Structure 1
Amino acid sequence: MPGRFTILTLDIRGRRCALRADVVREILPVPRLHRPPEAAPALAGFMDLGGSVLPVLRLASLLGLDEGAEAEPFYGHVVRLRRDVAARRVGFLADRALGLRQVAADDLRPVQPGETLNGLVEAAISDDGALTHLLAADRLLLAEERAALDAWTLRAAARIQAWSAAP
């Protein structure tokens, strides 16, 4: 249908947020994440994905919704974006992936600067009085955050490689 697209709806600290489905590569259950103690709060940790390291970032932290809780998640989903969208392999931790649904382009509403959850919301979608924040996937990380994340990922990959080397 023209003027319609699919979104993945997420629960992030009790707020409904969404990503356009065409930017999502896959949704994964949360495995045990390995997090360096000195890492930034937004870095939930690293997971092994088919023998390579995938950094996982807390969407709640990036959106300014994290209340300082850095406990290991017992339940949640890792949303992995397509590499061409994120410009790197990265996963984003959400409290829960709620599902896919169709949205009409006419249902998108502009957001005021003060309502953008750290500038990451591109539009709002009203659903029978409930609000869903449509996140701009290309704005989830600043250039400085990308550089720091790349350095952390290289460090984690080197550490894993050192442990997997034959004695």
Structure 2
Amino acid sequence: MQSNVFAVFEVNGTSCALRTDEVAEFLPLPRLSRPPSLPRMIAGFLNLAGTAIPVIDMDALLGSSRDALAEPGPYAHLILTRPAAGQKTVALLVKRVSEVISSKEAPQPVSDDKTLNGCVSGIIEIGSRSVHILASERLLLEAERQELAALTAAAQVRLGEWHVTH
């Protein structure tokens, strides 16, 4: 039986995870560019080797009422996603990635109509807790993806204007 590997983190007090094949990299939280009037779900933009990568605040996206401009904790991580076909890379801001686990058990599937946009693909039991397996390609609605693409294009233009040659 094939092993499933998951990166586990908390979102609003709920254990969540991504399949590691959806994760390109875990990053410590760097300084982010945050132009005015961004939606509260966007923590800002990461300059990754000259490319503007949007950073989604998972607590804000999945319903936290906390101030979106509050400083993340000292152990916050970015999870750089490996994009699905036709999608762009995004980084997910989480309080911290608590563990990477392997399980021979397949997650119990969750019907697409049980969560917004089918963003929870399954649930797996780890010890005494239930962990919600998120589908990174379904975290945003199509209209949100389009708006994020426009904001990212603007951030990329701004980043390009600051390119300094020696």
Report the TM-score when normalising by structure 1: 0.86
What is the percent sequence identity of the aligned residues?
35
**Structure 2 matches for 1:10-159, cutoff 5 A?**
10-64=9-63, 66-70=64-68, 71-75=70-74, 76-84=76-84, 87-106=87-106, 108-111=107-110, 116=115, 119-159=118-158
Structure 2 unaligned segments of length 5 or more: list them: none
Q: Do 1:7 and 1:101's aligned partners in 2 also have CA atoms closer than 8 Å?
A: yes
Note the residue ranges of structure 1 that are not aligned, 5 or more in a row.
none
Distance 2:13 2:85 in 1: 26
SS in 2 for 1:54: strand
The answer to whether the Cα contact below 8 Å between 2:29 and 2:78 also exists between their aligned partners in 1 is yes
Q: TM-score, normalised by structure 2?
A: 0.86
Q: CA RMSD in A?
A: 2.4
Question: Could you tell me whether the CA contact under 8 Å between 1:12 and 1:96 is conserved in 2?
Answer: no
